[in-house]
A and B are shown apart, each in its own frame.
Chain A
């Protein structure tokens, strides 16, 4: 099936290093350090990444971090809650901007 996002393309991610190896190496070193065990566990970081993947709606990230979450011991119950966190923040961000709407409306209304 022809599709703009093909799951197999994720395996070609490293091809991005061909255009500028130095920046690629720096990004990957940073990426690896971010996801290492730290004050947050690798499991917790994968759950955050899954939520962000849904917020930015990256299909590759959703594929990769669904697998990563399961392999780090999270279950679908926890992963669903993390997606709801993304959903709540996205929805909440829209609603919170309602304050701007109200400010403008108040300013220009009698």
Chain B
């Protein structure tokens, strides 16, 4: 088994620089600029249509180091949201009617402000989602996490790329499939994914390699059948998500000689309908330090909200953000290829 990966940052990789990633993406051979494709689809400049999802990335700390991670998260990352910033997030959310709070990371549950954000968001009557890597539920320090999530009716959005153990481990690290199955059994035992419980368990699958995800519906059928048959596991929905050509997945693409081919594959599969429904149009993404972004991918490329709209949660102003102009680039092909991709799965 290969040793666990370290983050790009810990390895002082050239790709730990967001500016370097953007430079690479914007000069890819054989790929037209994303904005040109948007213009042909009559969507340029892309604008938000409101805020339905308040997505909070609480930091880069994670107990796993997945090979495709767009955050470059890992145990060696120390960036986590402060209580002050978390309180600013809740103060921003409170007067709005934004229905959904989507908490992500890293492994968001490891953040000291995670439980505060859950409790406060629920107190404000919002739907709360936790983007969970599953193995975090088995950490001794998180022994009560499953119960906490169930008690607050937090929707668990859990990553499981493949029903084949070797494929899941190839992407997420040795032994992760087995841990994921154990964690899914724990969630099922709490009622997650079972009819009538009201506890929602959504699985997320990313391709284990440089290719597009399959159609969501048949893939969900396949997962449902295999997980029930082989492990007795149930879940509500499956979301398919395209791997974004940034951060550690970008490193994989470059090292495996797949970069140009993958980018061309994404660009050739550009779908105007998917572009019209991209998640950044209805999402606001808050970084661990309070900066505001159009999406979690822009956050990792350090492309803060621009064009005059507020760029920090302390200056949150829903009116100024609702129809803001969205920052786009060639990485956006990742969300507009084929059936489209978002934190909520396929978009068409």
Chain A residues with a Cβ under 8 A of chain B = 41-43, 67, 70-73, 75-77
Contact = CB atoms under 8 A, between A and B. Distances in A.
B219 A73 contact: yes
24 contacts: A41-B218, A42-B215, A43-B214, A43-B218, A67-B211, A70-B207, A70-B209, A70-B211, A70-B214, A71-B207, A71-B212, A71-B213, A71-B214, A72-B215, A72-B218, A73-B214, A73-B215, A73-B218, A73-B222, A75-B162, A75-B163, A75-B167, A76-B167, A77-B164
A43 B216 CA distance: 12
Interface in B165-182: 167
Contacts, number: 29
A38 to B, nearest CB: 14
Contacts of A70: 207, 209, 211, 214
A76 B207 CA distance: 12
Contact of B211 (A41, A43, A71): A71
Contacts of B215: 42, 72-73
Nearest to B265: A67
Q: Most chain-A CB neighbours within 10 Å: which of B209, B214, B222?
A: B214
A72 B209 CA distance: 13
Contacts of B162: 75
B126 to A, nearest CB: 33
Interface of B: 162-164, 167, 207, 209, 211-215, 218-219, 222
A77 B164 CA distance: 8
Contacts of B212: 71
Contacts of A67: 211
Contacts of A72: 214-215, 218
A75 B211 contact: no
Contacts of A42: 215
B334 to A, nearest CB: 14
Contacts of B207: 70-71
A60 to B, nearest CB: 15
Nearest to A44: B218
A43 B219 CA distance: 10
Contacts of B164: 75-77
Contacts of B211: 67, 70-71
Contacts of B209: 70
A72 B222 CA distance: 11
Nearest to B219: A73
Nearest to B214: A73
A10 B212 CA distance: 19
A42 B163 CA distance: 20
A72 B207 CA distance: 10
Contacts of B213: 71
